[in-house]
Each structure stands twice: as C-alpha cells, then as structure tokens.
Amino acid sequence: MKKIEAIIKPFKLDEVKDELNEIGVLGLTVSEVKGYGRQKGHTELYRGAEYAIDFLPKIKIEIVISDDLTEVVIDVIKKKAQTGRIGDGKIFISNVEETVRIRTGETGKKAI
C-alpha cells in the first residue's frame, strides 16, 4: 500500500477530488495548510503599506491506496492540479506497512 500526500492550490481541490472519485479512490483526507517553496511567499500592498506574505494557503490531500492504483492517482493529481505557474505544489509517496479499520478490525487492503 502507498500513502500519497499532495500539496496543491486551494482552487484546484474540486477538480482533483472529482477525478479521483472517477477512477475509484474511495476516500481521502483534506487539510488546509500554509507553507512556501522556492518562491518564499510574496509581497502585497494593503492600504498603501507593503507587507510580506511568507506562508501561502495550500490544500494537503492524503490518500492511502493499493499499489496498483499508485501511478494512476499520481497522474490524475499532476494533470488536474497543474496550472503551469510557480506554487502548483508537490506530491509525496511513501510506503504504508499496515492499515486497520477501527470499526471492524479489518486489516490491509480490506481496510482501505
């Protein structure tokens, strides 16, 4: 099993979620997060004063899937979250040793 964590722009969430549902991803966790990458934030003008925005709002999607869906899920996220501009985000993939469904006690792929 794999855990996919994707950091994307907030306005791309619905597109990504809808396409993941289409390919059979049964569940995901979404968090509102703030951060920065190479762009290190930006400056804005408010009432004549310039100020720095160091941490930009992002969405973090977490999905645990079976190994056979990994490439498809990554392709969907890349395609639907991409704007071609700085700050589109990142995808992190890690191995998951075990999954347990609390309600039933099921483990492994059955618990996903």
Residue 89's SS3 state is: strand
Give this prediction's pTM.
0.84
pLDDT tens per residue across span 64-91: 999 999 999 999 999 999 999 888 999 9
User: Distance (Å, rounded) from C-alpha 80 to C-alpha 73?
Assistant: 11
pLDDT tens per residue across span 47-64: 777 667 778 899 999 999
Residue type (1 letter), 77? I
DSSP secondary structure, 35-63, as one string: E--TT--EEEEETTEEEEE-SEEEEEEEE
Q: Which helix (H) or strand (E) holds 64?
A: strand 56-65
* CA neighbours closer than 13 Å in the CB half-sphere of residue 74: 14
Out of 3.40.50.740, 3.30.70.120, 3.30.2270.10, 1.10.3720.10, which CATH number does the structure's domain 2-111 have?
A: 3.30.70.120
Tell me the pLDDT of the chain averaged across its residues. Answer: 90
